[in-house]
Chain A
Amino acid sequence: MTTTPLLRVQGLTKTFRMYHLDSMLHAFEDISFDLYQGEFLLLRGHNGAGKSTLLRTIWRSYLPVAGQVLYASSHGEIDLANAADVDIALLRREEIGFVTQFLNARPRVAAQDIVAEPLRLAGATQAEALDQARHWLDQFGVRPELWRAYPSTFSGGEQQKVNLARALILPQKLLLLDEPTASLDVGARAALVRRLADLKAHGVAIIGVFHHPGDVAELIDREINLNTRVIADQSAEEEHVAV
């Protein structure tokens, strides 16, 4: 593990302003933590505690109202909370991945093309990208006869497998996971855990929200409980950090 954090979240606060209700919704306040290369951080908390909101704020789908998200990118350090959109877009293409439980597929695009797209955007040839796409579809248990079909006709579980194959096809530095095992069968869940373990071993830092954290118990290094907002190290009880 390196001594410099890959991610330093400092005083992060998110409030939604809802004009039609003339009210504010406080999602979370003053969250701080560091994340190192190859670390797996689990976010815990009851429904509505702000787990997914925290992930989406780091990903910058949500704009924080205070705080910093300092990320050590390959291009230099950048505050994701305040970075220019064009920089965020580039980091999403190159270094930061986000896996949700929903596939956002364009209509009439084959499963294998959806999965191959991130590689094509990264400059791979069509043949290379399709090769890799088929490999990962196979790994997650999508049957070959579905590879050229449109995922909009698939079951929720099959769509999620396509989603995972697409999201995990490119090596990243930071991976955000929002309930990725929801609606997966046992085989696909096992394939996901294998892939995450492999990414972690290669230094990918991971922050995840899991409905059943037991699925990834062996990978978890630390937890943040957003109910109590205490960071707990899985292995060393002394390293608790109040946030």
Chain B
Amino acid sequence: MSLDLGLPALERAAPRLMRTEPLLNMRDISKSYGNVRALRHVDAAVYPGEVMGIVGESGSGKSTLLRMMNLEDTPDSGDYTLRLPGRENENLFDLTRYERRMLCARNIGIVYQNPHLGLLMKHSSSGNVAERLLIAGERSFEVLRDKAREALDASEFPLDRMDARPIELSGGMQQRVQLAKAIALEPALLLLDEPTTGLDVSVQALVLDTLKRLQRDRRITMVLVSHDLGVIRTMADRVMVMRHGEVVEQGLADQVFQDPQHPYTQQLVHAKL
């Protein structure tokens, strides 16, 4: 008997060679806001160590899906499991709000396009990172300081500015503080919502390189939402294409970009400059 993991048709049809199970598995997620159907029967599987890119036009549901992955919102229907020790079969949407918050703090990091959503702009950069550690229960000032320093360093943030407040920093530096905060507890899953949108091209390249290095060295699993196909093409191992709240296509990044199967994906790829 084959296991139905809720994978898209291509994946379900193929007998699997490796027994790797997805780290993240979402099944049949639907969500409406009033009359707007934001997500329609979305399935998503993300495997350990990979970067899954999500593309689509504004309003396609990609950021809504990311918020669901970060447990900031719950769907009208559907299941969400993360392969964390002892929680493999638990639908995370069934947890209480407090349980969801604690699980996220310890296991999921997120970087928002808008640093104001992810940072306390008038606290120090190191304090922002330490806040994440505090939520997870760390209390020793020395440990907090050391871990914050380590995370900022891994995010290639200049340590001589770790006491500067984000409001005093450039956009690229603010994104690095967000990244440091997101990886401070070595999360199983890192969610990136348009992390380089609005940055200068040169700063964007540096942030992307930092992300790629973190993925390579720490094997962090990432989900990257971007409307910039160049960013997705550079970063993602696999890609999901969303439109009107549905996943219209998914596949290996090079396949989706070179041999798109869905008319909308073809339109999207051909429109790229």
Contacts and interface: CB of A to CB of B under 8 A. Distances in A.
B20 A86 contact: yes
Interface string B7-31: 1001101101110100000000000
A202 to B, nearest CB: 24
B73 interface: no
B208 interface: yes
B219 to A, nearest CB: 10
A18 interface: yes
A84 B8 CA distance: 10
Contacts of B216: 117, 120-121
Interface residues of B, number: 34
**Interface residues of chain A: helix, strand, loop or mixed (majority):** mixed
A169 to B, nearest CB: 15
Interface stretch (B103-111, B160-168, B186-194, B260-268): B260-268
A90 B162 CA distance: 39
A61 B17 contact: no
A107 B18 contact: no
A154 interface: no
Contact of B251 (A79, A82, A85, A120): A85
Contact of A62 (B209, B258, B270): B258
A76 B267 CA distance: 38
Contacts of B212: 106
B259 A16 contact: yes
Contact of A85 (B10, B206, B270): B10
A87 B20 CA distance: 9
B265 to A, nearest CB: 10
A86 B47 contact: yes
Contacts of B134: none
Given A85-B251, A107-B205, A19 B18 contact: no
A86 B51 CA distance: 11
B205 A85 contact: no
12 contacts: A16-B259, A18-B266, A61-B255, A63-B251, A73-B17, A76-B17, A78-B17, A83-B14, A84-B17, A85-B251, A85-B255, A89-B237
Contacts of A62: 255, 258-259
Contacts of B252: 60-61, 85, 88-89
A108 interface: yes
B254 interface: yes
Nearest to A78: B17
A63 B18 contact: no
Contacts of B237: 89
B50 interface: yes
B238 A85 contact: yes
**Interface residues of chain B: helix, strand, loop or mixed (majority):** helix
A185 B250 CA distance: 40
Contacts of A19: 263, 266-267
Interface in A12-37: 16-20
Given A56-B258, A61-B258, A108 B205 contact: yes
B47 to A, nearest CB: 5
A75 interface: yes
A106 B209 contact: yes
A109 interface: yes
Contacts of A56: 258-259
Nearest to B239: A85
Contacts of B209: 106-109
Contacts of A120: 216-217
A56 B259 CA distance: 10
Top 10 nearest A-B pairs (CB, nearest first) are A107-B205, A19-B263, A62-B259, A87-B17, A108-B205, A78-B17, A61-B254, A84-B14, A84-B11, A61-B258
Given A20-B266, A61-B255, 16 more contacts: A17-B261, A18-B266, A63-B261, A73-B17, A75-B17, A75-B18, A82-B13, A82-B14, A83-B17, A85-B255, A87-B17, A89-B237, A89-B252, A90-B20, A106-B234, A121-B216
Contact of B16 (A61, A87, A117): A87
A226 to B, nearest CB: 18
A20 B270 contact: yes
Contacts of A89: 50, 237-238, 252
A62 B11 CA distance: 16
A211 B20 CA distance: 40
Interface in B177-234: 202, 205-206, 208-209, 212, 216-217, 234
Contacts of B251: 63, 85
